[in-house]
Copies of this chain bind each other. A is one copy, B any other.
């Protein structure tokens, strides 16, 4: 099992050149099938392991794609980031690349420090998973490497981004509430915190507009500050019959609050969330929410980054991947 076996070692035993070994092991033209077989067998027997570092150097490619996740997201939506990373890594592997997670420390984000992997040329492209601050985005764009945004976008329109269709998801969810007879519908979320929250709000708003429902400002409630930290909020004096929450976690908090005020969910007040994360089934009642299509998002992100690594001029723009409404018990039909 000792494994410093090289192609040369195999070549020597077979009295051929290492070029022939290379060809055989890579299933290239120019080696007789017989010899090819023999080489492969012997390679197995000798415990040969292909040294991709050598190939990397020859090609001038690392075959690594770095997935950058700003630190502050790693506590939050829990398994989402790990799950989507898993998907990404798996698809990358099929294409011969490695995925490498880099959790971006908040300090490095503030000091505009790029990951070491960049400075050491061990990466061919970046997937930015989760929105860092603007200056960091600009930095990432300035280094002129293949780059794809995942799960957020920037108003800057020369970037490629894969996002959940937040707008459409919230729109559909609100339509559903209205079909269930609701007319007084609130929205929970800081509209200026992230593009996701803003777009979800706009989807909600579009649904109201289409149904001729007035947008009541008292029903729009901020849940976090602009850095994304949750803040205390009050319920409106008069409770609407339903709330659209920008995420499941805040739906969870809202339901606790509503309950403490002496109301029941969904009897007195319906609630819908977004994300279908752990909070969706942790909350009583379980939340009606939107499930993000993780695999589809990963697949797109990988496709984009791979094509950009092959052809630096490739562009894709913004792609929104549709989610799926999961109906559970947090909405009550009213008349």
Give residues in A with beta carbon < 8 Å to B: 1-4, 49-54, 56-57, 60, 62, 71, 74-75, 78-79, 81-83, 85-86, 89-90, 93, 98, 100-103, 105, 116-122, 142-144, 278, 282
Contact = CB atoms under 8 A, between A and B. Distances in A.
Contact of A86 (B71, B85, B118): B71
Nearest to A116: B93
A122 B56 CA distance: 11
A67 B99 CA distance: 13
Contacts of A93: 116
A53 B50 contact: no
A2 B103 contact: no
A98 B117 contact: yes
Given A57-B54, A278-B278, A122 B103 contact: no
Contacts of A144: 1-3
A121 B56 CA distance: 12
A81 B98 CA distance: 20
B78 A74 contact: no
A86 B120 CA distance: 20
A120 B1 contact: no
B79 A103 contact: no
Contact of A122 (B4, B57, B74, B98): B98
For the complex of A and B, 3 pairs with smallest distance between CB atoms: A52-B120, A78-B78, A86-B103
A239 to B, nearest CB: 22
A57 B53 contact: yes
A74 B118 CA distance: 27
Nearest to A284: B256
A90 B119 contact: no
Given A57-B57, A78-B78, A120 B89 contact: no
B75 A79 contact: yes
A4 B124 CA distance: 13
Nearest to A101: B101
B82 A51 contact: no
A52 B121 contact: yes
A74 B81 CA distance: 10
Contact of A78 (B79, B90, B121, B143): B79
A102 B101 CA distance: 10
Contacts of A103: 82, 85-86, 89
Contacts of A60: 4
A119 B93 CA distance: 13
Given A3-B144, A81-B82, 4 more contacts: A1-B143, A52-B120, A74-B82, A74-B83
Given A82-B82, A90-B105, A120 B50 contact: yes
Nearest to A2: B144
Contacts of A3: 121, 144
A78 B143 CA distance: 33
Contacts of A78: 78-79, 278
A40 to B, nearest CB: 14
